[in-house]
Amino acid sequence: MSPPPPAPNGPLLTLSGVSKSYNGDTPAVADVSLSIERGSFVSLVGPSGCGKSTLLRLIAGLLQPSHGTLDWEDGERPNDLGFVFQDATLLPWASAFDNVYLPLKLKGLSRDDADRRVKDALARVGLADASDKLPRELSGGMRMRVSIARALVTEPPVLLMDEPFAALDEFTREKLDDDLLTLWRDLGWTVIFVTHSVYESVYLSERILVMSSGSHGSGGPGQIADDVRIDAPYPRGLPFRQSSAYFDHCKGVSTALRDGDA
């Protein structure tokens, strides 16, 4: 018998028994084991302080685990991980173009050589006409779009997002949620998305890792309390946002959050 074909979407990343303590204190996250499938859209949801950012930074390689291992499919962490933070963190004196150009500049590309890619990235986030604008001339939503363009200009295989839309009004946030899903589907990324919004996580994700601050209330180490699949098809759009399936999923994740912190 011939061997079974390889799974098209094997795990991109596997965490085994990962813990992280800052300065030897109580661990911020403890004994986290999970796998992330290549090409998937996964959210980390949990209350403030439960270790979401810590876990994302461990995945990004910005922090080293105190215990446990992170194993990448190719043996090492991809060079080009895209990282988007809650604050757009743009250079205030540089135009939208120059902010998006920055990662390519750091790779040694001249402005001329980078021109097409920077313009494509700005166009992808709907900012083709704002290339010369300074951050202070852009709305909060537009600044976040520049930040996303900057993350995608290097064509990263993995995009890590830490509450990227939390500071935006609801309307802008829903628009950016849709744009993000379009980019994810077009570009074949793996997205790991941190949010404290149950509604946003259900709308976006194929899978939600519900985090808690351990048992008996907050203050304990962050752990994965539940692993929830959201099996609704894409594109999701308004019909999904207004469907009973959506509310059922939201209820399920809210319950998992409460149980996790009970």
Question: Rule CB under 5 A: which residues touch Mg ion?
Answer: 53
Residues 49-78 that bind ligand ADP (CB under 6 A): 49-54
217 binds ligand ADP, rule: CB under 6 A: no
C-beta closer to ligand ADP: residue 62 or 128: 62
164 binds ligand ADP, rule: CB under 6 A: no
x/- site string to ligand ADP, residues 8 to 27, per CB under 6 A?
--------------x-----
Contact 176, 124 (CB under 8 A): no
C-beta closer to Mg ion: residue 53 or 197: 53
C-beta closer to ligand ADP: residue 99 or 213: 213
Residues 6+ apart with CB under 8 A from 164: 84, 85, 86, 144, 147, 148, 176, 193
Q: Give least dist CB 20 to ligand ADP, A.
A: 8
Q: What gap in Å lies between CA 54 and CA 194, rounded to an integer?
A: 11
Contact 38, 11 (CB under 8 A): yes
Contact 146, 121 (CB under 8 A): no
Task: Say which entry of ligand ADP, Mg ion, none residue 50 contacts (CB below 5 to 8 A, set by partner kind).
Answer: ligand ADP
Q: What gap in Å lies between CA 246 and CA 68, rounded to an integer?
A: 35
Q: Give least dist CB 84 to ligand ADP, A.
A: 14
End-to-end CA distance of the chain: 50
Of 118, 144, 140, nearest to 131 by C-alpha is 118
C-beta closer to Mg ion: residue 37 or 261: 261
C-beta closer to ligand ADP: residue 11 or 220: 220
Interface contacts to ligand ADP, rule CB under 6 A: 22, 28, 46, 48-54
